[in-house]
Amino acid sequence: MTTLAHDSATLTRDALTVLQPGFTGTSAPDWVLRRLGEGLASVGLFGRNIATPEQLGALTAQLRAERDDVLVAIDEEGGDVTRLEVRAGSSFPGNLALGAVDDPELTRAVARELGRRLAECGVNLNWAPSADVNSNPDNPVIGVRSFGAEPGLVARHTAAYIEGLQGAGVAACTKHFPGHGDTAVDSHHALPRIDAGLDTLTARELVPFRAAVAAGTKAVMSAHILLPVLDPDLPATLSPAALHGLLRRPVADGGLGFDGMIVTDGMEMRAIADAYGIERGSVLAIAAGADAICVGGGLADEDTVLRLRDALVTAVIEGRLAEERLAEAAARVRALGEWTRRSGGPRAAHGIEPAAGVGLAAARRALRVTPAGTSYEPVTGPAYVAAFTPVANIAVGEETPWGVGAELARLRPGTGAATYGRQDADTLGVHGLIENMLDTAGARRIVAVVRDVHRHPWMADALDALLTARPETVVVEMGVPQAPPAGALHIATHGAARVCGRAAAEVIVGNGAGDHPGD
Confidence of residue 188 (pLDDT cuts 50, 70, 90): confident
- The C-alpha torsion from 178 through 17 and 284 to 183, rounded to 10°, is -30
- At 282-323, the pLDDT tens digits run 999 999 999 999 998 888 999 999 999 999 999 999 999 999
Q: Which residue has the higher pLDDT, 163 or 512?
A: 163
Taking only the tens place, the pLDDT of each residue in 220-242 is 999 999 999 999 999 999 999 99
Can you give the pLDDT at residue 391?
77
Cα(449)–Cα(418) distance, rounded to whole angstroms?
A: 10
Average pLDDT, the chain: 92
At residue 299, the pLDDT reads 87
**DSSP helix/strand/coil, 427:** helix
- pLDDT at site 445: 96
Which residue in 265, 291, 424, 452 is the catalytic one? 265
Q: So what's the pLDDT on residue 512?
A: 52
> Which amino acid is located at 36 in the chain?
L
In tens, the pLDDT along 103-149 reads 999 999 999 999 999 999 999 999 999 999 999 988 888 999 999 99
Kindly list the strands in the beta sheet with 261-263, ordered across the sheet, starting from the edge strand earlier in the chain: 42-45, 71-74, 125-126, 171-177, 219-222, 261-263
256: which DSSP letter?
A: -
pLDDT, one tens digit per residue, over 55-98 is 999 999 999 999 999 999 999 999 999 999 999 999 999 999 99
* Active-site annotation holder among 157, 180, 188, 490: 188
What do you get for the CA distance between the two ends of the chain, in Å? 62
- At residue 374, the pLDDT reads 64
pLDDT at 514: 33
Average pLDDT over residues 310-338: 97
Q: Give per-residue pLDDT as tens, 262-291.
A: 999 999 988 899 999 999 999 999 999 999
Residue 387 and residue 416 in contact, taking contact as beta carbons nearer than 8 Å: no
Q: Is the pLDDT of residue 518 over 60?
A: no
pLDDT in tens, 34-52: 999 999 999 999 999 999 9
Whether 231 is a known active-site residue: answer no
Could you confirm whether 265 is annotated as catalytic? yes
Spatial distance between the Cα atoms of 147 and 15, rounded to a whole number of angstroms = 36
Please write the tens of the pLDDT for every residue from 364-422. Answer: 999 999 986 667 899 999 999 999 998 766 667 677 888 999 999 999 999 999 999 99
Cβ-Cβ contacts under 8 Å for 183 (sequence gap 6 or more):
136, 139, 141, 142, 192, 193, 194, 225
